[in-house]
Chains A and B, each alone.
Chain A
Amino acid sequence: METMETANLMASAIEKDQQQTQLVAQKIFAAAQPGAVFGEPVVQGAYTVITASEVKAGGGFGLGRSFGPAAPRAAPSEAGAPPASAPAAETLGGGGGGGGWSEGRPVAIVVIGPQGVQVRPVVDVTKLLIAVVSAWIGIGAALARARRR
């Protein structure tokens, strides 16, 4: 009877875990849809503007469950008689964890107007400055190391 109850408990716990993992996977894979990259068009007069962005997302999770008999406990016995062990109870234990990340960055703006279609790139000046500074530091370190030899 106890075994059946524990098995039912484990089955419902596994089902809940599966639902949660599906939910997490859906959120991550929402970034994989074409609609995640292109925004809703904004119409102003004769112009329509659509934003195009780069989207990245990632995540992972882990779950663990164990199911088995607990160590039998020795029942109190009379003096001189061998100790009798109580029947082992079924136990269920488990744990889990996960994490995720997502980012988006505008890449270009598509402008549709009376003159036709224009694709205007969006330049991220901050990222370029970081790249330039990193390049200088890398080159400087390599040259300093080369001079020391």
Chain B
Amino acid sequence: MASWELQTTIGKPLAVAGGRMTVTPQARRLVLRWRSTSFVWNRPVAVLVERGGQVQRYPIRDVTRLVQLGLGGATLLIVAAGLIASWRKKGAAQPWRP
């Protein structure tokens, strides 16, 4: 039976700066299971810093992944625009029309 699980996990808090600050890592994981096959994707999302009784959240952004997704999305848009423009040419077939 297939199952999936998406959850935010919190790691072990670390005392840093001579104990003045506590840093707690936060990660998000996706686990997919199907029969004897499993897939795990675990990525960091933020660190929680506790200082003087106050907790501040510092998000971790994956710049490489964001740029890849942006490039992929832009490519799809340009390719789709090019295909639609070519279909609109006079005498060209338009697949979406019967």
Contacts and interface: CB of A to CB of B under 8 A. Distances in A.
Nearest to B62: A107
Nearest to A108: B60
B3 interface: no
A59 B37 contact: yes
A89 interface: no
Contacts of B75: 134-135, 138-139
Contacts of A7: none
A143 interface: yes
Interface string B57-69: 0111111110110
Contacts of A28: 38, 40
20 contacts: A21-B36, A29-B40, A31-B40, A32-B40, A34-B11, A35-B11, A36-B42, A38-B27, A46-B17, A52-B25, A54-B44, A57-B39, A107-B43, A112-B16, A112-B17, A112-B49, A117-B49, A117-B56, A124-B64, A142-B78
Interface of A: 21, 25, 28-29, 31-38, 41, 43, 46, 48, 50, 52-62, 98, 105, 107-108, 110, 112, 117, 119, 121-124, 127-128, 131-132, 134-135, 138-139, 142-143, 145-147, 149
